[in-house]
Amino acid sequence: MGDTFQTIADPDASAQDAARLAERVVEWLVAEGIVLAEAAPGWALSEHPAHPPGPDWHKAVTDARWGSPEGVAVHTRPKVFYSLGDSDTHAVTCPRCGGTTTVADDVSARFSTAMGTWDETGAADVDCPACAATVPLPAWTWSDDVFAFARLGFEFWNWPALSEDFRTRISGFLEGHRTVFLQGKI
Ligand SMILES: [Zn+2]
């Protein structure tokens, strides 16, 4: 069976924004009955507390049949969010020069070093192989939304597919930031 996750991440949220934006989104989710207000451990795969589904959780998904969702974990600290898909080759685009670099799944050394630093400190740069600019890790754009380096992310565990409309509503709370949608099964 395995467990599935769908994550909506905001790589543009600053350390100042993250908690405030998270609170705003959770308030709306609770008001809609999609999740319960109190986050508790045991509702996500890790011990990270997560909001249990609310009585109207089905409003978030395209097809609620056979659905048995678990919790929604809200992350407001620097985290590496990722997708797990079939492709093991990804392209990453530099926001400065628009140059695209292909990165195999065993991500090249410069990115993997930066990912570790980001996870620990919330700040990491990668020098662009094309234009040599020093670019903050979260500013790079990944093909297929395979990675997001973000201080804000909403992780839905074992929910049926979240609807396009629902994802757009969440983005609407994020003040024009980029939204990355990541998913996988573990
Ligand atoms: Zn560049």
Q: Report the separation in Å between the CA atom of 81 and the middle of ligand 1, taken as the mean of its atom positions.
A: 23
> Which among 18, 10, 45 is positioned nearest to 185, based on CA atoms?
45
pLDDT at 142 over 70: yes
pLDDT at 76 over 90: yes
Which is more confident, 174 or 87?
174
Residue 128 identity:
C
Which is more confident, 85 or 22?
22
Q: Report the separation in Å between the CA atom of 131 and the middle of ligand 1, taken as the mean of its atom positions.
A: 4
Which is more confident, 186 or 107?
186
At 75 the three-state DSSP class reads: strand
Q: Report the separation in Å between the CA atom of 94 and the middle of ligand 1, taken as the mean of its atom positions.
A: 5
State the average pLDDT over residues 49-78: 95
Query: Using 50, 70 and 90 to split pLDDT, how confident is the model at 104?
Result: low
Distance CA 152, CA 17 (A): 9
Please tell me whether the overall predicted TM-score, pTM, comes out greater than 0.75 for this model. yes
> Which among 160, 153, 162, 151 is positioned nearest to 180, based on CA atoms?
153
Q: Report the separation in Å between the CA atom of 24 and the middle of ligand 1, taken as the mean of its atom positions.
A: 35
State the average pLDDT over residues 76-100: 88
What pLDDT is recorded for position 175?
A: 94
pLDDT at 8 over 70: yes
Q: Report the separation in Å between the CA atom of 126 and the middle of ligand 1, taken as the mean of its atom positions.
A: 10
Query: What tokens does 55 get?
Result: 């009585």
